[in-house]
Structure 1
């Protein structure tokens, strides 16, 4: 856990509103290899890209001794008196846990009142890393508000510790780093909690073609990933042969897809995506469902040449690759089949923060 350096990070911007945003992501390949104990023993590898959907956090100081948390996207809010460490067992747990960290580390004066408002462009359980992006956006907003000296690796690791250790939410490590760094990244997860983010310098024409080929489709199911992830972890601990073999294949897919992307071979990228989806379904039951299978089949029958679920599975978003000329046809067919499909734009920036005068 990060700690405050003496004399650092204790000045607060009192006359402004701080705003931050962190991008959501699409998991292209390697998902699941960032889970312990797999990454601790074998090393994990992930290829992902951030998209034009965001988690937002806004902080406005107030002088009435109240801390007010508002989650505008889920219509929840709560208020607390200043001067206390907050219970993180209920309520808006992300807001409380991030607030507690900055108070307990000496970065934030507990007597300062504030309103902390958040919103996310995609619902919980979307498979787009929305909860981790929210954690990163909150951490960045408090970092800016408190003038705390944290770099991008620090920020991602802090969000990971809050989400996975403090709040005991199941999941891996990729989402926090994707939201912090942004862009197209090949991320390595190594023993002893080491993470290396490798930004890929992909030719702009290749990124344009990839973006023009992408369709994302919401299944309409907000999946609970914890059960799937816990099953995957249990099989890792048991050294289940099928699960380990599938994870090895998924890791290799991330390595191969990185090469395909760097060389502009999108046809090979699609083939890897398809093989990776087959491997992913072997890591745990419930990764695919009847709803997912129906939409996946509809997509493949309507011109898509590749596809897979984004995230742990069980619901959320499916991503497809299609010839750009056939994209509108694919979107229309997926919507007819009960999905909610549309294009998506890639982004090159990670978490950002700025201020506005009150």
Structure 2
């Protein structure tokens, strides 16, 4: 049995500039952090040739093409697994809460499926393949930061280039700064969930509007400032100021 544990994430600055509609015109910049809430994927050999997938629903099918869950279906195709397998997912947090759950699921599933085959992929390859499934195969109108932070973990600065290159810079923080940030940040569950696809599709289509593009450009500058702030071991209130400016933008 293989069990993968993959972190959810929060973004400090730059969210939205990881969408292709933006970074195809100007490099996107995002600072994200993994958090200690996780998606767990269990993969095990099945006693027959069928495929069992258990998430909020349970499916038992004979072929990969019959699977309703789109990410599971495409991940099995990508990894070349055709049957005789059982996949179960459990999460600390419900889907639709804005913490990148679908990408966390994709990265964790790929990691588990490759481990099931005796293969160990790098964080870069896991992130790239997760993007391929969600963006290229399933045509989801999403960005790339979620897949990359789920694969790399920690706190990272990402740069998204027009040629699809993604620069990844982990930000090493002193224990004292991490502790101060943890004491100064609060994360609330509002009780409401939503599908990000429709929101991001609208954002994609509105990106090139002058006012929106200007605000997104402002967010890239805030991401750069956030990176420097963390590297300079700034006070939590400096981070709070960046979060406030990002919210207004």
TM-score by length of 1: 0.67
1:44 equivalenced with 2:28 (yes/no) = yes
Quote the offset at 1:85 in angstroms: 3.8
Number of the residue aligned with 1:271: 241
**CA-to-partner distance for each residue in 1:48-82, whole Å, 9 max, x for gaps?**
111111111111102322110011xx2x100112x
**CA-to-partner distance for each residue in 1:244-292, whole Å, 9 max, x for gaps?**
110011111110011111222222211111010010xxxxxxxxxxxxx
State which structure, 1 or 2, has the greater radius of gyration over its C-alpha atoms.
1
Number of the residue aligned with 2:53: 69
1:212 equivalenced with 2:196 (yes/no) = no
Gaps of 5+ in 2: none
Quote the offset at 1:227 in angstroms: 2.4
- Following TM superposition, the consecutive aligned residue runs of length 4 or more in structure 1 with deviations greater than 4 angstroms are none
**CA-to-partner distance for each residue in 1:72-126, whole Å, 9 max, x for gaps?**
xx2x100112xx44146xx2222222112112xxxx4x3x511111112111111
| Equivalent position to 1:222, from 179, 183, 193 | 193
Gaps of 5+ in 1: 1-16, 280-358
- SS of residue in 1 equivalent to 2:29: strand
Residues 143 and 275 of structure 1: is their aligned pair in 2 closer, same or farther, counting only changes over 3 Å?
same
Number of the residue aligned with 1:245: 214
CA RMSD in angstroms comes to 1.3
CA contact (8 A) 1:28 1:48 kept: yes
1:24 equivalenced with 2:8 (yes/no) = yes
Deviates more, 1:241-250 or 1:225-234: 225-234
Quote the offset at 1:22 in angstroms: 0.7
TM-score by length of 2: 0.95
More helix by share: 2
Number of the residue aligned with 1:255: 224
Partners of 1:87 and 1:164 lie apart in 2 by 21
